[in-house]
């Protein structure tokens, strides 16, 4: 591990969970066809520039934002914090780290209130917010169920060239390690890190970065995943499945 990220003197924000990802897409219609028509995410709102999607059990405005743009990219890995004061804490924390920060009282996306976006020391765009519009949980909307229903946002996966450096930074931020991969010398090559009570809210894997590897949604049963794979096979796009 080189160029260790210092631990700020101010407290880290109290993060509750991964909440949503905003991605920039070059073809909004094709992205809608994939995430809505194929995967079955539910549309909260949409316009000519963006689509706001959520999973079946979600009660906040969205878990995924698709925003039209010239180059495919991640605009934000967004985390919900415990209280409005924790947004202030996030801003102070990253300012002490010398990171670029931007605060918007009205939020960066529809449905989200006061929030701060930062470029973190690893080069990733993070967002922290508390205020958010609540929407209907669709658990009793049986008319909307699909065989491959995605029920909740589960985690992000981030690729970074120095996993030990990233692990130490996220531990300072309050994440805990649930699993890791180390060699015989104790060098970490991947780490799964959580805030909520699941295996992870984000994972760090080694490689050229910073870049996003994937955003993951959970299903209730393994057969839901098989249904999605079968659907992709029937549509002759099984080459997009990573095994």
pLDDT score at 1: 56
Residue at 2 is within a domain: no
In terms of residue numbers, what domain contains 88?
Answer: 15-240
Residue at 45 is within a domain: yes
Print pLDDT tens along the chain (243 aa).
Answer: 568 999 999 999 999 999 999 999 999 999 999 999 999 999 999 999 999 999 999 999 999 999 999 999 999 999 999 999 999 999 999 999 999 999 999 999 999 999 999 999 999 999 999 999 999 999 999 999 999 999 999 999 999 999 999 999 999 999 999 999 999 998 999 999 999 999 999 999 999 999 999 999 999 999 999 999 999 999 999 999 987
Residue at 5 is within a domain: no
pLDDT score at 34: 97
> Which string of DSSP letters, residue by residue, matches the chain?
--SPPPPPSSPPP-EEEEEEEEEEES-HHHHHIIIIIIT-PEEEEE-SSEEEEE-TT--BS-SEEEEE-SS-EEEEEEEEESSHHHHHHHHHHHHHTT--EEEETT-SSTTB-SEEEEE-TTS-EEEEE--B-B----TT-GGG--TT---EEEEEEEEES-HHHHHHHHHHTT-EEEEEEE-TT--EEEEEEESSSSS-SEEEEESSSSEEEEEEEE-SSHHHHHHHHHHHHHTT-GGG---
**pTM of structure:** 0.95
pLDDT score at 6: 96
Residue at 119 is within a domain: yes
Tokens of 241: 């499945």
CATH of residue 195's domain is: 3.10.180.10
Quote the number of domains for the chain: 1
pLDDT score at 243: 78
Residue at 10 is within a domain: no
Residue at 3 is within a domain: no
pLDDT score at 17: 98
pLDDT score at 49: 98
Residue at 49 is within a domain: yes
């Amino acid at each position: 591990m080189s160029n260790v990220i210092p631990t700020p003197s101010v407290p880290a924000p109290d993060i509750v969970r991964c909440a949503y990802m905003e991605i920039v897409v070059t073809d909004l219609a094709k992205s809608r066809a994939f995430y809505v028509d194929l995967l079955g995410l539910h549309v909260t709102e949409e316009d000519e520039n963006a689509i706001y999607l959520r999973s079946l059990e979600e009660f906040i405005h969205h878990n995924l934002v698709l925003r039209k743009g010239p180059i495919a990219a991640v605009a934000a890995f967004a985390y919900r914090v415990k209280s409005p004061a924790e947004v202030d804490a996030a801003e102070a924390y990253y300012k002490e780290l010398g990171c670029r920060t931007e605060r918007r009282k009205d939020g960066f996306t529809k449905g989200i209130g006061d929030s701060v976006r930062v470029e973190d020391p690893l080069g990733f765009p993070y967002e922290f917010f508390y205020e958010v519009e609540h929407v209907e949980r669709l658990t009793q909307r049986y008319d909307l169920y699909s065989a491959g229903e995605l029920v909740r946002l589960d985690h992000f996966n981030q690729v970074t060239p120095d996993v030990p450096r990233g692990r130490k930074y996220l531990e300072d931020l309050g994440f805990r390690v649930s699993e890791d991969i180390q060699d015989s010398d104790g060098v970490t090559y991947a780490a799964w890190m959580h805030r909520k009570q699941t295996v992870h809210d984000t994972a760090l894997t080694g490689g050229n970065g910073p870049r996003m590897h994937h955003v993951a949604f959970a299903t209730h049963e393994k057969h839901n995943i098989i249904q999605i794979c079968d659907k992709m096979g029937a549509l002759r796009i099984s080459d997009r499945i990573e095994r």
